[in-house]
Every structure is written in C-alpha cells, then in structure tokens.
Amino acid sequence: MDWLNLLIIPLARSVALILVLLTAFAYLTWFERKLLGRFHVRYGPNRAGPKGLLQPVADAVKAIFKEEFIPDHVDKPIYVLGPALALIPALVIWAVIPIAKNVPAIADVNIGFLWILAVAGVESYGLILAGWSSNNNYSLLGALRSSAQMISYELPMGMFLVSILMLAGSFSLVELLNSGRAWWEWLWLWAMFPLFFICILAETNRSPFDLPETENELVAGYQTEYGGIKFSLFMMAEYINMITTSAIMATLFFGGWRLPFGLLQNVQILGPFVLAFKVILLLFLFVWVRASVGRPRYDQLMGFTWKILLPISIGYMMITSILVVLFK
C-alpha cells in the first residue's frame, strides 16, 4: 500500500486543493469588486445573478471565447510559457501549508520555510519572461520593474522569515503550529506584521505597489501583449497569490487553523473553516489598502525597501536572536 500513501492520496488532495483555489480565485474577484464598490459608494457587480454572484462565471465564459491571438513579433515559446510560470508557483507553495490538525500539509517536510522562499523566487521569472518575450517597450519596462521590485522586497521579507524561524526553532510549518508560543513571542511577531504585510503587497504586485502594470504609465506593463486565456492566467496568478500569501500570514502570525487560547482544539472539523476565516480577513485587508492608498513613485517604492525596510528587518532579526538566547 506504499504507492497509495505516497502517490494516490497526495495526488487526490492536490487536485482537490487546486479546484478549491480556482473556485476561490473566481469569487475573490467578486469579493474585491463588491468591497471596492462599497468603499467608493457604488454598487459593484449586481446584474449577473443575485447580488452579482454569477459575475465570475460570466467573466470566465467571456475569457474562454476571446480570440487567442499571438502577435508575430513575440518570441512564441517563451511568450506562452510566461503565464504558466506565473501561476504554477502560487499553487505549488500550498504543498507545505497545514490546513487543519486532521488535514496536515500535502508535503509535511522539515524545510517548509525554505520551500516558500524558493518557490516564491521562481514566480518573478514568469513576469520577466512574459515582458521580455513580448518585444514591446512597455512590456519590457514592466518586466524590469517587476524583477527589481520583487527581488528587492524579498530581502527584508527573508530577514523577517528568518526571525520567525528562530522563534519557531524548526523549518516545518506543521511543527510551528503544533509547538506553543509564549505571550511575548506573539507580541513580538505582531509588531513585525505590518512591515511583513508591506513586503507581501510588493511581492504580489498589489496596489499601491502595482507599478509593474500601472495603466497610466505602461498600458498594462508585462501583460500588454496578452489577451484571452493567457491574460486571465496572469490575473489568476495574482489573485491566487493573494490567497496563498494570506494563508502563509495566517499560519505564521495568527495560529493558522487554531482558535485563540486553545479553544475547541479537539473539534478537528473546525480547522479548515478557522483558517478560511483568517484568510478572508487578510484578503479584506488587501482590498482595503487598494481602496485607500495611492501609488507612490517608483523611486520612492525602491528607496523605501533599501533605506527603511531592509535596515529595520536586519535590526529586528538581531533583536530576535538576542531574545531567543535569553528566553528560549
């Protein structure tokens, strides 16, 4: 039965998780548009189905029937590969995220932190190759912006993750949730959360850090030459990245599938719903920021990470190492 435990069950769980993520992506677009409508004192989607609930279905049908056109001047193999490379890492990261006590991570390995960093670094290649292969100046500038932005903000994000790793004492996200934290560890982590969230906004190219695709400067940036399903794959990658990073933040900072104060730990069926609720709250934060904060200039964006975030993250890591030596 080794083949069942090693291949069939993980494969079935992976397929089920991908289907859930694709459905969640579709309705995250509805969730965002509805919230933005409320923030901006307008209705948002309200025509397709009750409360606009069928709007994601209408959008999917429209994208499917769009003409699949590939311009003659692009590098076709890489042009087609770009959207896939942008989407796949957002799905693959879920391999190490625990969903509940009775539904552990698909790959319960002791290198969960390293897996997240490694796979997140691959995502930028999809955007870079898409912009370069388009042979379009707007696309190339968007790709350059994206690569510079994502690589720059990965540095302070990595420092913060190292700090969390020192507190956890393990590379495994499953062990991180199973081992308790002292009250001062929670306070110290929550003090870092706003800065970590800023890094996540930049890593996911979300507003106000969506400068690689800003319409008033670069038309659509790295995705200018894309349409139909290929354009939808970039959109899918962005929204699934929001869900993935929200699940990671919920796991690292807010106990993942666990309720506060150890409540109802034996009611295992609650785990996925608790994690989903925390993810939805963090997704609300993504939309709230988009509705409230304007874009900075690109030099301000880059200066912020190198002059402010990186020194703070290094200082935070140094203080964390001292706290671990003194109190762990």
Same domain, 32 and 76: no
Domain check: are 193 and 205 in the same one? yes
Q: 83 and 226 share a domain?
A: yes
Same domain, 6 and 76: no
Mean pLDDT of 212-241: 78
Res 176: pLDDT: 76
Give the model's confidence band at 136: pLDDT under 50 very low, under 70 low, under 90 confident, else very high. confident
- pLDDT value at residue 1: 52
pLDDT score of 91: 84
For residues 268-274, average pLDDT:
75
Alpha helices in 179-220 (DSSP H): 183-203, 215-218
Do 57 and 122 lie in a common domain? no
Together in a domain, 197 and 251:
yes
**Domain limit, last residue, from 23, 47, 65:** 65
Residues 35 and 83 placed together within one structural domain of the fold = no
Number of domains in the chain: 2
Check pLDDT > 70 for residue 2: no
More confident residue, 213 or 2: 213
Residue 150 structural domain: 66-327
pLDDT at residue 102, rounded to an integer: 62
Instruction: Please indicate, yes or no, whether residues 134 and 177 belong to a single structural domain of this protein.
Output: yes
Q: Are residues 157 and 215 in the same domain?
A: yes
Same domain as 13, residue 139: no
Mean pLDDT over all residues of the chain?
A: 81
**Which of 3-7, 55-59, 143-147 is least confident?**
3-7
Shared-domain flag, residues 164 and 252: yes
Q: What is the pTM of this model?
A: 0.84
Domain boundary (48, 65, 82) is at 65
Question: Final residue of a domain: which of 65, 96, 115?
Answer: 65
Q: How buried is 41 (Cβ within 10 angstroms: 0-12 exposed, 13-18 middle, 19+ buried)?
A: exposed
Pair (53, 97) in one structural domain: no
Query: Is the model's pLDDT at 238 over the cut of 70?
Result: yes
